[in-house]
Structure 1
Amino acid sequence: MDILHSITKTISALPAGEKWEITAQNLWLSRADFQSISVYLCRESEKGHFSITHTADLSIPIGNTSLWVTKH
């Protein structure tokens, strides 16, 4: 997937401590595609190079369409 390559390249270019918000709207993705990418990024974050924080939207508790990446 080209979008995964683009996201991982952007994350690797972030300076340590930098945060980046990823949204389905900015990536022009459906909610389902964004959820798949979110799962992938959560698994990748287990390696310790970055962490993921889901943005809580109380009006939409399931199917979040944004997350924050923090580079370590």
Structure 2
Amino acid sequence: MDIIHQITQKISSLSAGEQWDIRAKDLWLSHSDFHSISVYLSRESEKGGFSIQQLPHSSIFQTLDVVTVTKH
């Protein structure tokens, strides 16, 4: 099962208002792979089923690859 499918299945299973933090390290993804998934999720969130929030990077040395998904 590919990672995009796993993520979309998990988002589908969330209850309305429920949040899920997606972390690159939990998914064993590189920064660039996680960035690609974040872009995909951002475009999918435009459909209105969920929203995403990315934490700002505090510095180049403290990159936090985390996206918070909130189901609508």
TM, length-normalised to structure 2 = 0.90
Cα displacement (A) at 1:50:
0.1
Distance 1:44 1:57 in 2: 22
One-letter amino acid of the counterpart of residue 53, structure 2: T
The corresponding residue for 2:32 is: 32
Q: Conserved in 2, the CA contact under 8 Å of 1:21 and 1:69? A: yes
> Where does residue 48 of structure 2 map in the other structure?
48
1:14 paired residue number: 14
Name stretches of at least 5 consecutive residues in structure 1 with no aligned partner.
none
Q: Secondary structure at the match of 1:33?
A: helix
Please report how far the alpha carbon of residue 40 of structure 1 lies from its aligned counterpart in structure 2 after TM superposition: 0.3
1:11 aligned partner, one-letter code: I
User: CA offset at residue 6 of structure 1?
Assistant: 0.2
Shift of 1:57: 3.1
CA distance in 2, matches of 1:20, 1:11: 8
RMSD between aligned residues: 1.7
Count of aligned pairs between the two proteins: 71
Q: In structure 1, how many angstroms separate the alpha carbons of the residues matched to 2:41 and 2:31?
A: 15
